[in-house]
Amino acid sequence: MEISLNNVGRRFNKEWIFKNINYIFKQGEKYAILGPNGSGKSTLLSVLLGNLTPSEGEITYTDPDEIRVENIYQSISFAAPYLDLVEEFTLQETIDFHFQFKAYADGLNASSVLSLLGLEKSQDKALKHFSSGMKQRTKLALACCANTSVLILDEPTSNLDTQGIDWYLALIEKFATNKMIIVGSNQAHEYDFCKHQLSITDYK
């Protein structure tokens, strides 16, 4: 997978969030989108996900042929603290539902995802009874354990304690080695493994 941005900009009303981004994200590489809170990191991630259309410029996806933006979701997994889960679903139902749309990564199944989460005793509990940290772990596991070539994470350790942060880093190391990873963050521990950095403030 390769994601190419050609003079991409996005504005709300008359205010430019970012503009004139020319950048290529390549398969297997790790990228950090950096900037203070409110700078536009999440907006850029939404553009990369195909959820937002650029106000100017164009974005293309190739793998190796060009992929239409409406089909890109099949190649991308995404996790963010503001991403909603179905609160009435149990954890087991959540896993089963998610993997109706995404294939499991090689060697994984519903049982191994539960084991990875360490929440086997909570598999029949509704997500509305989960703590914010348990929900964030679930989102990260669903994203990392899917067989997609691109993994996009926004503030991945939000709501995680120190043990949860270590779990996140181990998850990335084990399941995301060969993926393109794009992390929106302003905390170094979330993106220390990223070789490339793009500062959103450079495109104001």
Can you give the CATH number for the domain in which 39 is found? 3.40.50.300
Mean pLDDT value across the chain? 95
Please state the pTM of the whole predicted model.
0.95
What pLDDT score was predicted for residue 194? 97
Per residue in 16-30, is it b (16+ CB within 10 Å) or e — as a string? ebbbebeeebeeeeb
Task: List the single range of 65-74, 93-102, 156-165 with lowest mean pLDDT.
Answer: 65-74
Contacts 24+ apart (CB under 8 A), 169-175: 169/193, 171/116, 171/140, 171/141, 171/144, 172/144, 175/105, 175/144, 175/145
Q: Using the predicted structure, report yes or no on whether residue 181 has a pLDDT greater than 90.
A: yes
Q: What is the secondary structure of 5-19 as a DSSP string?
A: EEEEEEEETTEEEEE
The predicted-structure confidence for 99-127, as pLDDT tens digits, reads as follows 999 999 999 999 999 999 999 999 999 99
176 has a pLDDT exceeding 90:
no
Work out how many domains the chain is built from and give that number: 1
- What is the maximal distance between C-alpha atoms in the chain? 51
Q: Which of 187, 189, 155 is nearest to 45 (CA)?
A: 155
Question: Could you read off the pLDDT of 143-155 as tens digits, one per residue?
Answer: 999 999 999 999 9
> For the residues 83-108, what does the mean pLDDT come to?
96
Q: Which of 25-29, 54-58, 70-74, 167-171 has the weakest average pLDDT?
A: 70-74
* Domain that residue 106 falls in: 2-203
Average pLDDT, stretch 39-50?
A: 96
Q: Is the pLDDT of residue 177 over 90?
A: no
